[in-house]
Amino acid sequence: MLRNGIGIRTAQALSERLRGQIHVYDGEGKGKSQAALGVVLRSIGLGIDKPQQTRVLLLRFLKGPGREYTEDAAIAALQQGFPHLIDQVRTGRAEYFGPDEITRFDRQEAQRGWDIAKGAIASGLYSVVVLDELNPLIDLGLLSIEEVVKTLKNKPDYLEVIATGRSAHPKLVEIADLHSEMRPQYHTEHSIDGVEIYTGSGKGKSTSALGKTLQAIGKGISQDQSHRVLIVQWLKGGSGYTEDAAIAALKRTYPSLVDHQRCGRDAIVWYNDRQDIDYLEAERGWEIAKAAIASGLYKTIVLDELNPVVDLELLDPDPIVESLLRKPKNTEVIATGRCKNIPPYFDLAKIHSEVYCHKHYANEGVELKQGVDF
């Protein structure tokens, strides 16, 4: 059976674009804030050896003190690894509230956060500004969408702005260069804690997985433990891929905690043009991954582009199911990549987000940045 559209492209031959983009990650599924942190890590990696290093502001709305949040550990790892590059501001109260429970404090905190955001955007000090949970803040009526749109339209050309949270406003989506929606897929009968799947055509799958690796490292730091991470990448035997800079930054900052293995040849693999080397490289990667899962040595194992490898029938999914069923309780396994046919190990996922691409700047004729967009 012929399958089109399965394959990984590099950006080696593409020229760098200068204009920073507006990213919007929304939806009910997991991975929005993780994807933003993955983009942050990638941006830091791209600027790490340049005179003008990437400086990042993480502005977190609706996430006041008093609660622990999923991304806290990941941010701690970023701050420890790059203390001179990461600024963080948290605003709001800790508990959830609806539109009928808004207080004067909520309005003050929303305005305080937005004033900081406007100042940061206009300052010229930052390369990336993350507006975490901006979408629900607008949805609650705590910020004027007109003012947000006006500010973002007038941002410096080089600045990347990332907005996250459920229920993105249509006017924000209209000015966005990229809009990915995370939709949850539920597998309750056979799901296993610590198995996560990110698939779909949208941008944010591998970057969400990188956010999880940061989280694992950060948890290890806070608990004074070694939370080792393994990243196995299939179909990525060349260079110039989206995650290269992010992984390089991780390995450089936490060399004793991050292991990385790449498999495949430097070419797009099509179903009707598979070569012997593709099967050998797929199996080589799986042997490494299988041994790592069984070892219990790793807190988090990222199986990047495993899904299209199975979809291309380069790997049998049954051994993957067996390994996941037997994995140590405290080991997290994350599989990424798009696929057309659902493999059986998807049923084991405790978290499964389908990432839908509603908008991508590549479709508007914008030149893509090497190492960032593919």
Q: Which whole-number Å values give the CA distances from 328 to 18, 39, 198, 304, 366, in the listed order?
A: 45, 29, 21, 20, 45
Average pLDDT score over residue span 112-139:
96
pLDDT band at 4 (very low <50, low <70, confident <90, very high): very low
SS3 315: coil
Give the per-residue pLDDT at 360: 67
Give the per-residue pLDDT at 3: 38
94 within 8 A of 68, measured Cβ to Cβ:
no
Q: Which pTM value belongs to this model?
A: 0.87
Helical packing angle, 244-253 and 205-222, nearest 10°: 10
320-348 residue pLDDT tens: 999 999 999 999 999 999 999 999 999 99
pLDDT for residue 362 is more than 90: no
Which residue segments constitute the domains of the chain, with CATH numbers given?
Answer: 22-180+358-364 (3.40.50.300), 184-356 (3.40.50.300)
7 burial (CB, 10 Å; 0-12 / 13-18 / 19+) is middle
pLDDT for residue 285 is more than 50: yes
Q: What percent of the chain has pLDDT over 90?
A: 72
67-119 residue pLDDT tens: 888 899 999 999 999 999 999 999 999 888 999 999 999 999 999 999 999 99
Give the per-residue pLDDT at 241: 83
pLDDT band at 10 (very low <50, low <70, confident <90, very high): very low
- Catalogue the long-range contacts made by 103-111 (C-beta closer than 8 Å, 24 or more residues apart): 106/140, 106/142, 107/142, 109/64, 110/61, 110/137, 110/142, 110/143
SS3 232: strand
248-266 residue pLDDT tens: 999 999 999 999 999 999 8
Q: Which of 125-139, 193-207, 357-371 has the lowest mean pLDDT?
A: 357-371
Average pLDDT score over residue span 307-326:
98
